[in-house]
Structure 1
Amino acid sequence: MSIMTAEKAGAKIVEWYSCVIAKSHDQAILLKEEVKQLLSEMKDNDKILAYYSLVEFRHDMLINRYNKNKLQADFQNIEHIAKIDNMLKYLYYFVSGQSEYVNERYRSAIKLFNKAQRLLEYVNDEAEEAEFYQYSGLVYYRLNQYLVAASHIEHAKVIFDRLEYTEPSLNCQIVLAGIYQELHNPKKAEDILLDGLEKATDNDVMLGLINRSLGLNKLGIKDYNQAEFYFRQALSFKVHKDAAVGAKTTYNLSNVLFNQGKHEEAMKQFKAAHAGAKYYKNHEYMARCLATEGLHIKKDYSLVDTAIDDLNRLGLDFEVAEVAEEAANFAEKEGNDKLTLKYLKTAYKARLFQNTLGDDQQ
């Protein structure tokens, strides 16, 4: 009886896992409960329990939208399990990499994804292959390796389109648009995002994310009025506003309001963004809030320096360059040539580093 239950539990975990990859929220929740029931009827089986804990983490990522307060990377270690199959090894390294990604440890995530990639040939599932390339592309994107990121994301999108997985495909479009934006082609980025906006139709999650990305694209070319419009559009979707990404969008909105001289409304949004960054433990945006506080509120460049140090520790070279360039613009307007030169040098150095991968990222 226990052998049959283990086989049934394993098959049900595979079915559950497929729904997680396809972003079928409601079905994934139902299948998780079915799996838990089967596990309660099964004698202890380390391999099945390991599969369950790994898929559960990915399930929680889907349901909780990257809220670190609700994600616990306490999935079962596989080292002690006898006769570990390659699929379990792959899943262990991949999910461990996803955990590092959620916690903004991108260099560590790449190491784990590289280990997973060496086992990818044993994964006979197109959806899983697409999900792997999507996440590895995301991490390369965060490490400013745009050509590698684009290659991975495009590969994932081709598979998602073939499988008709709409939401994952749209997520790939958002990342590709971000890459074009970083490569100074905002028109191409906007075209990709507007195409995605048409495809998203009644998917509030994707409509929020795409509007946010359109806002970031406009912010990149200092079109603050249009950026404000798109950020407000994104925050009009409750599912976006109430998620971790909503705190980021609120910060971006406060930033464009400060830059338009709308100080009172900007302060209101800034306070909400700062509280959100702390609640969601988003270290990048806590640093960005500190820089904004230094430039727009307290007029204290030492806060900007602390923010840059924090971003450097996170290995976020592009973000360092963005903050430093904004500080240089402020200093230039004030006629402070010494500070202007200081921050321009910081930005230049960060731009050089953003196109390299250190030994610890291989």
Structure 2
Amino acid sequence: MTKTYENQLLQLIGQWFTQLSTYKLEEARKLKKEIDDLLSPIHLPKQIESYYDLVNLKHQLITNEITLQSNFYRSDLLDKDVLETTDRTLKYLHKFMQATILMNNEDYIHSIESLRIAEKSLDYVSRFEQAEFYFRTGYVYYRLDQNITALNYLNRSYHLVRNSIHHDRLKANLSIIKAGILSEAGYDRESIECSEKAVLLSTHEPLTKSMAIRSKANNEFRFGRFNKAAELYLSALNTGNQNKSNVGIKSRFNLAHSWLKMGALDWGKEMLNQVEGEIQNKAQSLSEFTARGIICRELYLHDRPDPIKINMGLSILKEKKLLYELRDVTKELSNFHLHNEEYKLAYYYLDYTNYVVPILGGDL
């Protein structure tokens, strides 16, 4: 392969990466086909192969051609090549995609470590790719219950794409996370407004729209409006045929939880059974819902919660460092025991995260 040919390939892969960052997906698909046609009969140098693999992974994720799986991407296979290269864009791509895989597997601490390395090379990518980076980083901090830091990154992302006509999906996703942060902080109306904005921005994106409706339902649930929450979870499930997706599984769990809260125990139990079966058959990690399912079953479907099962659920959340979810679940446990006038247990769970979070490394 001549240097001229290598440079042509690198230029085309760079253009492909740019089209993905600007969410011009039809152009990205055309470039991918052109590149694939050029690559088919030849053996690639390591640097070009690494570039291609990373941009191709980004392409498949953005176009929803694949879903992230824990065994899909062996980042360790590329570590040596990337360490030896001086190409900062390649280093950025490697660490950013590594972080994306880690966050999908709920390994948020290691995801942040990869994002911090990627951030050192951020000046070498376009502003639209920077917006994607800030969004993903904000999401990870949100999952780690670091909401002030999360908002900082989310606002940076929005600033870079606010005038772009091609980034409605990204702007919708930013609004979804912001709605969650506002809801958790007690801002009911403001959270609803953010979710409704996300719905409007995702008119042509069924998966994102389903997530936006679910975010609105989560707020209804959080403020104790379980009937309304159940209606919205059903609406999310019926949007864009999301029944078989991870979003669908999450919405079904939330629906089961709402029904259990409302006292519709038969409906809630049937739906919870379905969700637990689906989670077992998934390659992707859904640890939060595994843990919540165990605890929900103990609280609402048994005469007395089994402390061993409750601790099993809490241990899953602690292992994954899902700090907000841990606080949310222990608050529900505390309220349950308070209602039953079991004040020692109510206080124990109320105070639980005060001594667990420092051990888990809650302050990043």
Q: Percent identity?
A: 22
Distance 1:304 1:7 in 2: 58
Distance 2:354 2:66 in 1: 32
Q: Is contact 1:318–1:351 with CA below 8 Å preserved after alignment?
A: no
Aligned to 2:292: 288
Secondary structure of 1:8 counterpart: helix
Relative distance call for 1:109 and 1:83 in structure 2 (3 A) is closer
Q: Is contact 2:68–2:101 with CA below 8 Å preserved after alignment?
A: no
Q: Is contact 2:143–2:323 with CA below 8 Å preserved after alignment?
A: no
Q: Is contact 2:171–2:201 with CA below 8 Å preserved after alignment?
A: no
Secondary structure of 2:236 counterpart: helix
Aligned to 1:176: 178
Distance 1:213 1:83 in 2: 42
Counterpart amino acid of residue 131 in structure 1: E
Shift of 1:198: 2.6
Relative distance call for 1:194 and 1:80 in structure 2 (3 A) is closer
Aligned to 2:130: 129
Aligned to 1:300: 306
Relative distance call for 1:5 and 1:80 in structure 2 (3 A) is same
Relative distance call for 1:78 and 1:107 in structure 2 (3 A) is closer
Aligned to 2:147: 146
Shift of 1:205: 2.0
Distance 1:225 1:13 in 2: 50
Counterpart amino acid of residue 292 in structure 1: C
Relative distance call for 1:49 and 1:303 in structure 2 (3 A) is same
Normalised by the size of structure 1, how large is the TM-score? 0.90
Distance 1:65 1:354 in 2: 35
Secondary structure of 1:335 counterpart: coil
Counterpart amino acid of residue 15 in structure 1: Q
Alignment pair present for 1:189 and 2:203: no
Shift of 1:355: 9.7
Greater Cα offset, 197-206 or 104-113: 197-206
Counterpart amino acid of residue 195 in structure 1: K
Q: Is contact 1:304–1:327 with CA below 8 Å preserved after alignment?
A: no
Q: Deviations over 1:79-108 (max 9, x none)?
A: 246543111111111111111111111111
Relative distance call for 1:26 and 1:272 in structure 2 (3 A) is farther
Q: Is contact 1:167–1:206 with CA below 8 Å preserved after alignment?
A: yes
Equivalent residues in 2 for 1:203-222, closer than 5 Å: 203-222=205-224
Q: Is contact 2:323–2:357 with CA below 8 Å preserved after alignment?
A: yes
Distance 1:17 1:290 in 2: 42
Greater Cα offset, 70-79 or 280-289: 70-79
Q: Is contact 2:175–2:198 with CA below 8 Å preserved after alignment?
A: yes
Q: Deviations over 1:231-273 (max 9, x none)?
A: 1110002443221121111111100000001112112221222
Distance 1:199 1:68 in 2: 24
Distance 2:311 2:325 in 1: 13
Counterpart amino acid of residue 157 in structure 1: Y
Q: Is contact 2:70–2:101 with CA below 8 Å preserved after alignment?
A: no
Shift of 1:24: 5.0
Q: Is contact 1:143–1:354 with CA below 8 Å preserved after alignment?
A: no
Equivalent residues in 2 for 1:245-260, closer than 5 Å: 245-260=247-262
Q: Deviations over 1:7-49 (max 9, x none)?
A: 3332332333234334455554554343222222444211110
Relative distance call for 1:321 and 1:46 in structure 2 (3 A) is same
Normalised by the size of structure 2, how large is the TM-score? 0.89
Alignment pair present for 1:8 and 2:8: yes
Aligned to 1:330: 336
Secondary structure of 2:73 counterpart: coil
Relative distance call for 1:314 and 1:136 in structure 2 (3 A) is same
Aligned to 2:54: 54
Aligned to 2:326: 320
Aligned to 1:38: 38
Q: Is contact 2:180–2:191 with CA below 8 Å preserved after alignment?
A: yes
Secondary structure of 1:163 counterpart: coil
Distance 1:143 1:73 in 2: 23
Shift of 1:2: 4.1
Select the residue among 331, 336, 350 that pairs with 1:344.
350
Count of paired positions: 357
Q: Deviations over 1:288-329 (max 9, x none)?
A: 111112212234232112111111111112111111111122
Greater Cα offset, 207-216 or 69-78: 69-78
Secondary structure of 2:78 counterpart: coil
Distance 2:152 2:356 in 1: 24
Which consecutive unaligned segments of at least 5 residues does structure 2 have? none
Shift of 1:206: 2.3
Distance 2:131 2:20 in 1: 13
Shift of 1:347: 4.3
Greater Cα offset, 228-237 or 23-32: 23-32
Q: Is contact 2:108–2:143 with CA below 8 Å preserved after alignment?
A: yes
Q: Is contact 1:65–1:244 with CA below 8 Å preserved after alignment?
A: no
Aligned to 1:231: 233
Shift of 1:115: 0.9
State the superposition RMSD in angstroms.
Answer: 2.4
Counterpart amino acid of residue 284 in structure 1: E
Greater Cα offset, 339-348 or 150-159: 339-348
